[in-house]
A and B are shown apart, each in its own frame.
Chain A
Amino acid sequence: MTDIGKHNTEIEQDEMENLLRMDPVRSSLDVESRAIEPDNIAGESIVETRFTGGDSLDEPIRVTLFNEFRAIGEKLVYVLYPKNAQVLRDWDLWGPLIFSLVIALALALSTDKIERESVFTVVVALIWFGEAVCSLNIKLLGANISIFQSMCILGYSSFPLMIASIVCAFVPLIFIRIPVIVAMYAWTLFAAMGVLQNSNLSNKKLLAVYPLFLFYFSLAWIIFL
């Protein structure tokens, strides 16, 4: 038991060291290389560290997917309970992609058949364009955070609204929808404040907060309808 714990700790430390050394561009390239699995040194080292620690599994794809979902879970926890901002420096957009597709799918399936394609398209475009514009706004106001990192945080912050969209898709009662949508909207805003945690916007904090309020309000309103 203690040996397994030590091995897990070693794996986590190795992975953290590898991730901290990477640039955001390299991390995206690394994601691609992990998907294709060529015979690169970096790919081999990552695969070796993962294989030596855990159980001996025969399918690398399963291991890759498991590690990806674990990384998504870790980022989700750190976004929803913002305590340690170090993990969020290694940005990815897998979670935001899943959340936006689930929200758009739930909204499209709960509307009339005539407007399903329009609703799905507009909601996906609204989420991604909204996140990009809010991130660009924070960057232009002078924050020292990269655009993709803030998009990562804003995307993971929309997880409570994903829960609200699933609940509102199946529950027609208005007395359940309103408390759920209000609570999830408040939680999303609370999580999104993490994007301003390390920024140096002293006099412009309200200018950075207001677009987040507007973006998530429009998303919550469309979910409620």
Chain B
Amino acid sequence: MAHEIEIDSEADLGRTTFEAEDLYKQRTPITKPPAPRLQSRRASMQETPWTIKDSFNVETKDVVQRCIHTLIPTVNFFDVVDDRPDLYGPFWITTTVIQALFFSNSITEYARYATGHGTSGYSIKKLISAASIIYGYTTIIAVLLWGILVWNKCNPKLLDCLCLYGYANIVWLPVSLATPPFGLLSTLASHIVKYVLTGIGLLISIVFLTRNLYPICQQAGSNLCKLLLFGIIVFHCLLALSLQLIFFS
């Protein structure tokens, strides 16, 4: 039965309508085997040469839907992506987070300057720091993860890793925009609230990343899977700590 489904999916790979029918048929069984999706993904990658314009072939409602499912990680993200990862969301979400971090930090500094405390003006170096940290983290960790998974024959797409980490950055947008209002509280209360906000953002993004990477890492073996997930969590905690110390304090 599984073998028959596999042959059908391979045979009808090039046609859009039949592919939709196959997806509809495949959804009728309760469990969905991960292997056919990976095989069909690899075959589709080999068929047509990929251009960067294809990764921007996405509509507004698709991007909005993916953002919502990142902030509420109840569905598998790769089912939402549906084998069409984009680079629009990762790039502009990352850029928005950089601007939001700079906005949050500079509005806090401006409030201190307006009320008489602290030095005057803002620091343009905060913008450079935000760009370096967020762009660097998203790109380097995604490429590193992709390299490790390819080395262990899990065969993910680089675009999937970039898409996953790019959309994961969206949790820092409400965290950074919520920090300035709570900065008006007293010192102790504002510190507690900021750490709680950062903790919530960290928790949501860790759930999002581990939930979606676990099925892929599982193919690399049990021990390596645990090691990879542990590394993902540690690096994400380091990111949250960096953002907390540089921009939210």
Q: What residues of chain A have their CB less than 8 Å away from a CB belonging to chain B?
A: 111-112, 115, 118-119, 122-123, 126, 137, 140-142, 203-207, 210-211, 214, 217-218, 221-222, 225
A-chain residues with CB within 8 Å of residue B60 when the two chains form the complex: 203-207
**A154 CA to B59 CA, complexed, in Å:** 23
Residue pair A214, B127 in contact (C-beta under 8 Å)? no
| Structural contact, A112 and B121, CB atoms closer than 8 A | yes
With the chains together, A109 CA to B92 CA distance in Å?
A: 31
In the complex, are the beta carbons of A122 and B121 less than 8 A apart?
no
Q: Which residues of B contact A126 (CB under 8 A)?
A: 127
Asked if A115 contacts B56 (CB within 8 A), the reply is: no
**Contact sample, A vs B, 25 pairs, CB 8 Å cutoff:** A111-B121, A115-B121, A115-B123, A115-B124, A115-B125, A119-B124, A122-B124, A123-B124, A137-B88, A137-B92, A141-B88, A203-B59, A206-B60, A207-B58, A207-B59, A207-B60, A207-B63, A210-B92, A211-B92, A211-B95, A214-B99, A221-B103, A222-B124, A225-B121, A225-B122
**In the assembled complex, B25 has its CB within 8 A of some CB on chain A:** no
Chain B interface residues (CB < 8 Å from chain A): 52-53, 56-60, 63, 88, 92, 95-96, 99, 102-103, 106, 110, 120-125, 127-128
List residues of chain A with CB within 8 A of the CB of B110.
225
Q: Is the CB of A112 within 8 A of B106?
A: no
Cβ–Cβ contact B121 & A118, under 8 A: no
Docked Cα-Cα span, A115 to B119, in Å, equals 13
A210 to B95, CA, bound (A): 12
**Which single member of A140, A203, A207 contacts B53 (CB below 8 Å)?**
A140
Min C-beta distance of B189 to chain A, whole Å: 27
Q: Which 4 A-B pairs have the closest CB atoms?
A: A140-B56, A206-B60, A203-B59, A225-B122
B241: min CB distance to chain A, Å? 25
| A118-B124, A207-B58, A211-B92 given; 12 more Cβ-contact pairs under 8 Å | A112-B120, A115-B123, A115-B124, A137-B56, A141-B88, A203-B59, A204-B59, A204-B60, A207-B59, A207-B60, A217-B99, A221-B106
Q: How far is the CA of A142 from the CA of B51 in the complex (A)?
A: 13
Who on chain B is nearest to A110 by CB?
B121
Q: How far is the CA of A142 from the CA of B103 in the complex (A)?
A: 31
How near does chain B come to A110, taking the closest CB pair, in angstroms? 9
How many Å lie between the Cα of A213 and that of B57 in the bound state?
21
Contact residue among B56, B96, B122, B125 (Cβ-Cβ distance under 8 Å from A141)? B56
What's the Cα separation between A51 and B125 when bound, in Å?
51
In the bound assembly, the distance between CA atoms of A214 and B88 in angstroms comes to 14
> In the docked arrangement, what's the CA distance between A221 and B105, Å?
12
Chain A residues contacting B121 (CB-CB under 8 Å) are 111-112, 115, 225
List B contacts of A123 (CB < 8 A).
Answer: 124
Report the bound CA distance from A210 to B96 in whole Å. Answer: 10
Once bound together, how far apart are the Cα atoms of A42 and B56, in whole Å? 41
A197 CB to nearest B CB, Å = 19
A225–B106 CA distance with the chains assembled, in angstroms: 8
Query: Considering the chains assembled together, what is the distance between the CA atoms of A137 and B58 in angstroms?
Result: 12
List B contacts of A112 (CB < 8 A): 120-121
B residues less than 8 Å from A206 (CB atoms): 60
B125–A118 touching, CB < 8 Å: yes
Kindly report which residue of chain B lies nearest to residue A209, judged by CB atoms: B60
Write out the residue numbers on chain B whose beta carbons fall within 8 Å of the beta carbon of A218.
99, 102-103
Cα–Cα distance between A221 and B122 once the two chains are bound (Å) = 11
Whole-angstrom CA separation of A119 from B126 in the bound complex? 11
Q: Taking the nearest CB of chain B, how far is it from the CB of A74, in angstroms?
A: 33
Q: How far is the CB of B78 from chain A (nearest CB, A)?
A: 21
C-alpha gap A164/B163 in the complex (Å) = 37
Do the beta carbons of A214 and B52 come within 8 Å of each other?
no
CB distance from B207 to the nearest CB of A (A): 27
Q: Select from chain B the residue with minimum beta-carbon distance to A115.
A: B124
CB-nearest residue of chain A relative to B103? A221
Residue picked from B63, B124, B127, most chain A C-beta under 10 Å: B124
Assembled-state Cα–Cα distance A225/B102 (Å): 12
